[in-house]
């Protein structure tokens, strides 16, 4: 179900891939451990088609509880023929035993939907992480007559599945005999899940009219002669609605509990291991978490597993069908934050996971500030207004607890206090609350100045504060809180993990330090100009000099990843647009008699680079500032389509990242476009209210 990935090893944490992001969970033992499952529950599914509603309801209750508490459960005695399951496994064994060149005839690249055989990827065969498996996949394909009871594809539709009819004539028959029964079982299970959410039995049917089905059979071939137990499929959470996994003879599936301890899910013959995925997490309002799992196997042992992934129709829109559960919500939410890009994008260097998250158990205001941030992100992703309101309540609660903490002298100077204020300032920034931000940012700065020596990661705090201060000053009429020499001192102290001077120590910032310094210089220069007058020739010359320097700047060759390279080039063009706009260099050029500066190419560069970034990803989020700068040049007459594209793009990134800043940026742009006034991004024209980006 997932492609290649590399997951870092962080001591004390388990890292995994879920929701398209690498996330981590701290291993909790002793006093820190919380109540969670230590075995996979087992439920008898024999009555699933019972005519008696009470029977079905009883089943639903057990399933709902298991989905909520564990996310994984066995369905034993399902009405799916054990003989057909065995026949399917036997067919698979024959297929995987075929010579490699025969299997390669059915390579996934021959199918428009990537269905068929996918060989072991040698790069992924390393022990410890990655995956060591070959797969055969098939799925929704209404050109196959065996699926005509669901739907008949219109004539001319291309087929997606590949069948090894020429080499294994019985394969297709045996797999379809199994598929047909599992499909009927899965469709009925949707209704049981619906009951489990307290809804009408048919309430979810609408989402699953023409479901997305996928069977990706995993074959984990032996890797070595010894019997060491190794991970062969990396930790991940499934994205579908639910998965019905058939295992045979060789166990190996392991499920991660809330304390980050692996719980084994051994083979139960002819039973399904069922787990709910991301789509059900959304539909259930976050109640049924998509639980993380992995596969381990003895190096000398062959293992085959047969999962059936069931997802909503590709052309349906899903949404939460019930209100969010409140059980220990703050606690669950703080986990959710670990994937948020501004907190550090890689687990091994995420200050959030290393410093903030562990302290949430001991520092009550930090716990609420973090819960407020997480709730806001989840509320936006799930479009849940009541959770958004809750987020505001938690932010207020954090402020109240903070006031209490500040009266205790002993606690005032500690790291928890600094992190809390920092988190609160971050929340103000997200929601666009200028007034609170103006209190929190200077307060955090005073703490770092006064108590900096004792902070375990002073660098993180200083970098974060500098970043918030600068970006905010470029999009509002506020002056910087830090002085420009202060900021430069902060920047020059930092080195990246690989030792490069003047590269961010934490991978959470997209704009290179050099460019950010130019932003500071230009912003200060602009803000000290007398209002309501033409710029002095000296000011224009200085601005032009900055523009020349920015233009002459080049990214360090080979230093950035491909994705970050695009973002950096988008910033490079975005900063130039910023200087030009502030000093109106497109109108009067750089000096007496100079030609006006052209902006078209810079706008195109920002757009092209931003579009080259994979979406959605942390990097697409990192291009908001340059995109905003480019969007200020979208003239109404020529660029109506572009404007709409950008609003849609911001909306898409917002719905996946949960970041409210995109909404603030979009509404600011709409106001500017509507007013038709010249916007210099600093005096903000007549725009009042939100603090953007």
Q: Which residues bind ligand AKG (CB under 6 A)?
A: 1, 216, 218, 233, 238, 245, 247, 253, 293, 295, 305, 307
Give the number of residues written for the chain. 693
Nearer to Fe ion, 87 or 120 (CB): 120
Q: Which one of ligand AKG, Fe ion, none interacts with residue 522, CB within 5 to 8 A by kind? A: none
CB 133 within 8 A of CB 218: yes
Query: CB of residue 238 vs Fe ion: minimum separation in angstroms?
Result: 4
Residue 245: name its binding partner from Fe ion, ligand AKG, none (Cβ under 5 to 8 Å by kind). ligand AKG
Give the Cα separation of 559 and 336 in Å (integer): 30
Of 1 and 76, which has the nearer Cβ to ligand AKG? 1
SS in 3 state form for 488-502?
HHHHHHCECCCCCEC
What's the closest the beta carbon of residue 14 comes to Fe ion, in angstroms?
15
Closest contact distance (angstroms) between CB of 300 and ligand AKG is 17
- Distance (Å, rounded) from C-alpha 346 to C-alpha 370? 19
Residue number, 238 or 462, with CB nearest to Fe ion:
238
SS3 of 349-372: HCHHHHHHHHHCCCCHHHHHHHHH
The strand pair at 303-311 and 242-247 is best described as antiparallel
φ, ψ for residue 441, nearest 5 deg: -65, -50
682: tokens are: 């600093």
Residue (299 or 612) nearer to ligand AKG, CB: 299
- Residue 610 binds which of Fe ion, ligand AKG, none (CB < 5-8 A, kind-dependent): none
Closest CA to 271 of 37, 45, 1, 39: 45
Report the alpha-carbon distance of residue 227 to residue 387 in Å, rounded: 49
- 291 is in the binding site of which of Fe ion, ligand AKG, none (Cβ under 5 to 8 A by kind)? none
Residue nearest to Fe ion (CB): 238
Q: Taking CB under 5 A as the rule, which mask of x and - marks residues 579-598 in contact with Fe ion?
A: --------------------
Q: Specify the residue, 137 or 350, whose C-beta has the smaller distance to ligand AKG.
A: 137
CB of 125 to ligand AKG, least distance (A): 16
Least distance from ligand AKG to the Cβ atom of residue 337, Å: 25
- For residues 253 and 471, which CB has a smaller minimum distance to ligand AKG in the complex? 253
Number of residues this chain uses to bind Fe ion (CB under 5 A) = 1
Structure tokens at 443: 């307060």
What backbone phi and psi angles, to 5 degrees, belong to 15?
-100, 150
Among ligand AKG, Fe ion, none, what does residue 507 contact (CB within 5–8 Å per kind)?
A: none
Question: How many whole angstroms separate alpha carbon 149 and alpha carbon 326?
Answer: 41
Which of residues 62 and 131 has its CB atom nearest to Fe ion in the complex?
A: 131
Residue 393 phi, psi dihedral angles, 5° rounding? -60, -40
> Using CB under 5 A, which residues numbered 211 to 240 contact Fe ion?
238
> 10 Å Cβ neighbour count for 308?
25
- Written as six digits, the tokens of 214 are 């996928």
Q: Which residue has the tokens 């989840």?
A: 378
- Classified as helix, coil or strand, 13 is strand
Q: Which is nearer to ligand AKG, 253 or 398 (CB)?
A: 253
**Omega of the bond leading into 616 within 30 degrees of 0 (cis):** yes
Please state the closest distance from residue 1 (CB atom) to ligand AKG, in A: 4
Report, in Å, the least distance between residue 26 CB and ligand AKG: 23
What x-and-dash track marks residues 237-276 binding Fe ion by CB under 5 A?
A: -x--------------------------------------
Q: Give the residue from 267, 204, 262, 213 showing the smallest Cα distance to 240.
A: 213
Choice between 245 and 422, CB closer to ligand AKG: 245
Answer with the entry of ligand AKG, Fe ion, none that 253 interacts with (C-beta below 5 to 8 A by kind).
ligand AKG
The burial of 547, by beta-carbon neighbours within 10 Å (0-12 exposed, 13-18 middle, 19 or more buried), is given as buried
- By beta-carbon proximity to ligand AKG, the closer residue of 293 and 440 is 293
Find which of Fe ion, ligand AKG, none residue 218 binds, CB within 5 to 8 Å per kind.
ligand AKG
For the bound state, the minimum distance from the C-beta of residue 2 to ligand AKG, rounded and expressed in Å, comes to: 7
Min dist CB 121 to ligand AKG, Å, is 15
Residue 307 CB, nearest distance to ligand AKG (Å)? 5
Half-sphere exposure (Cβ direction) of 611: Cα atoms closer than 13 Å: 11
Residue pair 437/691 in contact (Cβ under 8 Å)? The answer is yes
Q: Which does 254 bind (CB under 5 to 8 A by kind): ligand AKG, Fe ion, none?
A: none
Positions touching Fe ion (CB under 5 A) are: 238
């Amino acid at each position: 179900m997932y492609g290649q990935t590399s997951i870092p090893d962080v001591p004390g944490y388990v890292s995994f891939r879920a929701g398209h992001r690498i996330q981590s969970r701290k291993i909790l033992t002793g006093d820190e451990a919380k109540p969670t499952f230590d075995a996979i529950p087992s439920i008898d599914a024999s009555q699933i088609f019972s005519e008696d509603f009470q029977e079905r309801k009883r089943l639903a209750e057990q399933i709902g509880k298991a989905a909520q508490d564990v996310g994984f459960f066995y369905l034993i005695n399902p009405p799916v023929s054990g003989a057909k399951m065995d026949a399917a496994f036997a067919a698979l064994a024959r297929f995987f035993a075929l010579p490699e060149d025969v299997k390669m005839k059915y390579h996934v690249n021959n199918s428009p939907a990537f269905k068929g055989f996918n060989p072991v990827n040698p790069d992924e065969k390393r022990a410890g992480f990655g995956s060591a498996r070959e797969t055969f996949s098939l799925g929704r394909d209404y050109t196959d007559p065996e699926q005509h009871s669901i739907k008949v594809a219109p004539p001319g539709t291309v087929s997606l599945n590949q069948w090894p009819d020429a080499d294994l004539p019985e394969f297709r028959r045996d797999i379809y005999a199994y598929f047909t029964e599992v499909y009927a079982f899965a469709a009925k299970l949707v209704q049981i899940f619906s009951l489990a959410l307290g809804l009408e039995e048919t309430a979810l049917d609408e989402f699953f009219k023409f479901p997305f089905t996928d069977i990706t059979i995993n074959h984990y071939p032996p890797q070595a002669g010894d019997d060491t137990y190794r991970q062969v499929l990396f930790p991940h959470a499934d994205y579908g609605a639910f998965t019905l996994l058939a295992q045979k003879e060789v166990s190996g599936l392991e499920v991660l509990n809330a304390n980050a301890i692996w719980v084994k899910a051994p083979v139960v013959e002819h039973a399904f291991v069922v787990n709910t995925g991301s789509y059900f997490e959304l539909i259930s309002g976050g109640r049924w978490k998509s639980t993380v799992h992995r596969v381990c196997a003895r190096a000398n042992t062959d293992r085959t597993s047969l999962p059936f992934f069931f997802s909503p129709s590709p052309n349906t829109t899903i949404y939460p069908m019930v209100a969010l559960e409140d059980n220990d919500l703050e606690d669950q939410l703080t986990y959710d934050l670990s994937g948020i890009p501004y907190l550090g994008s890689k687990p091994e260097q995420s200050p959030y996971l290393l410093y903030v998250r562990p302290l949430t158990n001991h520092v009550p205001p930090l716990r609420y500030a973090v819960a407020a941030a997480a709730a806001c992100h989840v509320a936006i992703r799930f479009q849940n207004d009541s959770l958004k309101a809750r987020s505001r309540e938690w932010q207020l609660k954090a402020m109240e607890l903070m006031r209490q903490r500040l009266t205790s002298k002993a606690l005032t100077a500690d790291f928890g206090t600094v992190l809390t204020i920092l988190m609160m300032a971050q929340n103000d920034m997200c929601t666009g609350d200028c007034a609170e931000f103006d209190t929190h940012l200077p307060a955090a700065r005073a703490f770092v100045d006064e108590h900096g020596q004792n902070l375990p990661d002073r660098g993180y705090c200083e970098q974060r504060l500098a970043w918030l201060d600068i970006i905010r000053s470029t999009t509002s009429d506020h002056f910087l809180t830090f002085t420009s020499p202060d900021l430069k001192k902060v920047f020059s102290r930092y080195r990246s993990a690989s030792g490069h001077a003047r590269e961010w120590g934490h991978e959470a910032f997209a704009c290179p330090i050099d460019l950010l310094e130019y932003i500071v210089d230009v912003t200060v220069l602009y803000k000290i100009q007398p209002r309501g007058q033409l710029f002095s020739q000296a000011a224009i010359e200085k601005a032009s000099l900055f523009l020349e320097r920015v233009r002459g700047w080049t990214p360090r060759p080979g230093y950035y990843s491909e994705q970050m390279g695009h973002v950096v080039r988008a910033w490079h063009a975005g900063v130039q647009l910023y200087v030009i706009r502030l000093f109106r260099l497109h109108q009067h050029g750089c000096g007496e008699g100079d030609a006006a500066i052209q902006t078209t190419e810079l706008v195109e560069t920002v757009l092209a680079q931003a579009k080259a970034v994979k979406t959605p990803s942390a990097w697409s989020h990192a291009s908001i500032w340059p995109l905003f700068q480019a969007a200020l040049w979208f003239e109404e007459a020529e660029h109506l389509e572009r404007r709409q594209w950008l609003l849609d793009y911001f909306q898409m990134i917002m719905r996946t990242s949960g970041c409210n800043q995109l909404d603030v940026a979009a509404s600011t742009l709409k106001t500017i476009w509507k007013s038709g006034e010249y916007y210099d991004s600093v005096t903000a024209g007549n725009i009042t209210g939100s603090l953007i980006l």
